[in-house]
Amino acid sequence: MPIIVQKFGGTSVANVERIRNVAKLVQKEIKKGNKVAVVVSAMSGETNKLVGFVNEFKVRNDAEYDTVVASGEQVTSGLLAIALHELGIPARSYQGWQLHIRTDSVHGKARIEEIVTKDIVAGFKKGEVAVIPGFQGVTSENRVSTLGRGGSDTSAVAVAAALKADRCDIYTDVDGVYTTDPRIVPEARKLKKVGYEEMLEMASLGAKVLHSRSVELAAKYQVPLQVLSSFEDSKEDIPGTILVKDEDIMERRVVTGIAYSQNEARITLIDVENVPGIAAKIFAPLADAEINVDMIVQNISEDGKKTDVSFTVPKGETEKAVKVLEGAKKAKKVGYARINSDTKVAKISVVGIGMISHSGVAAKMFATLASKGINILVIATSEIKISVLIDSQYMELAVRALHETYELHKKPAGGKAVATKKKAKK
């Protein structure tokens, strides 16, 4: 009998009525003859409430934070088990410490090390559904740990990997992965299949459908992951978007989707002394301050003596980054004339595994943006994506123009995979 893992997010379990609806979706899989393990988030709003309590204190204790915050998922797991009983389906909840879901001891952003599945498997033999709270685990010191935001997706994939599940279905409030955000481009098309690497790029570039870590884990253990909606009833066998190995994508397409994000800010250092090792001097103090730098561009001046360096940091850390660099200037650790920052920027990314074997994607992107009069501030590329930083007021315009340029509203012809066997670098 196939094993299916189903995961339901906060809006899908927001109240008892919705939990009943989730129970029906579980019942559907049971009726097909599947063995089912379900992973649930906390009721929507609950985790924020609990985090709010903890944040009222002036000190932080990560282990106690986890004890408090993990309780939200505990509640939902018990309630869903009861909802399944109501439908006459045997079910029981297993907390992280009951299974165990062993994690490392990095409280607040723990990583799963092992999931003991013997109780779940024994339950399957009795026809029992296992209900597992997402987001939480237990450390080797026997304390409750949590995996960080979006951790329930990761829990679900980890459970699926441990059970060698035939499919892991992630139910969210969208019904799949789209070529871009349908709120910006109404013609955006739902993708039947997306490669793990593509999804990983899209997730880290701002597509909010899946958490990056869960995609990473799915890729590592080759878990067939499906994204679908818990609010719509579909008759299709695979109603959502399924994540597969990049080489298994059979559609002839070069670009898969357009992602965007407004979570970054640009910082520019003007008239930096252009000496060897200057990049290290700029970025070392930022690394020491635990500020993540993403896109970087350096323009060499004509005489080669002075240069401008631009880069992006998470928007919330802009002020901190500027202070760190001003401090480094005062301490004579790095020399530059002026510093400026801009938080009104957006990152637009074109993603597609097909880029590996197709040239001209970047040129097309730059030409499209130029034709709309959109100035490119910073560029960053990888084998399967090109990202540009632009003025945020042009964000929607850029996304729409690029969606049209690459004809993403059209279903590509099926056929041989365009991706080569070569793995794309992340």
Give min distance, CB of 34 to its own copies, in A. Answer: 22
CB atoms within 10 A of CB 17: 8
Three-class secondary structure of residue 404 per DSSP: helix
Give min distance, CB of 41 to its own copies, in A. Answer: 15
CA distance 206 to 261: 5
Question: Of 18 and 266, which has the nearer Cβ to its own copies?
Answer: 18
How many angstroms separate the first and last alpha carbons of the chain? Answer: 36
Give min distance, CB of 7 to its own copies, in A. Answer: 19
Residues near 229 by beta carbon (within 8 Å), at least 6 away in sequence? 171, 172, 173, 174, 175, 176, 239, 240
CA distance 177 to 184: 14
Give min distance, CB of 67 to its own copies, in A. Answer: 4
Give min distance, CB of 30 to its own copies, in A. Answer: 17
Question: Of 103 and 204, which has the nearer Cβ to its own copies?
Answer: 103
Question: Of 142 and 359, which has the nearer Cβ to its own copies?
Answer: 142
Q: For residues 107 and 70, is the Cβ–Cβ distance under 8 A?
A: no
Question: Of 51 and 397, which has the nearer Cβ to its own copies?
Answer: 51
Give min distance, CB of 60 to its own copies, in A. Answer: 7
Three-class secondary structure of residue 89 per DSSP: coil
Amino acid at 15: N
Question: Of 67 and 381, which has the nearer Cβ to its own copies?
Answer: 67
Give min distance, CB of 20 to its own copies, in A. Answer: 8
Question: Of 73 and 169, which has the nearer Cβ to its own copies?
Answer: 73
Question: Of 94 and 124, which has the nearer Cβ to its own copies?
Answer: 94
What are the CA-CA distances from residue 378 to residues 242, 295, 299, 347, 393 (Å)? 33, 7, 10, 9, 16
Please count the CA atoms within 13 angstroms of the CA of 258 that sit on its side-chain side.
31
The pairing of beta strand 3-8 with beta strand 112-115: unpaired
Tokens of 244: 């597969």
Q: Which residues bind its own copies (CB under 8 A)?
A: 16, 50, 53-54, 56-61, 63-68, 71-72, 74-75, 77-79, 81-83, 85-86, 92-93, 95, 97-98, 142-144
DSSP state of 406: T
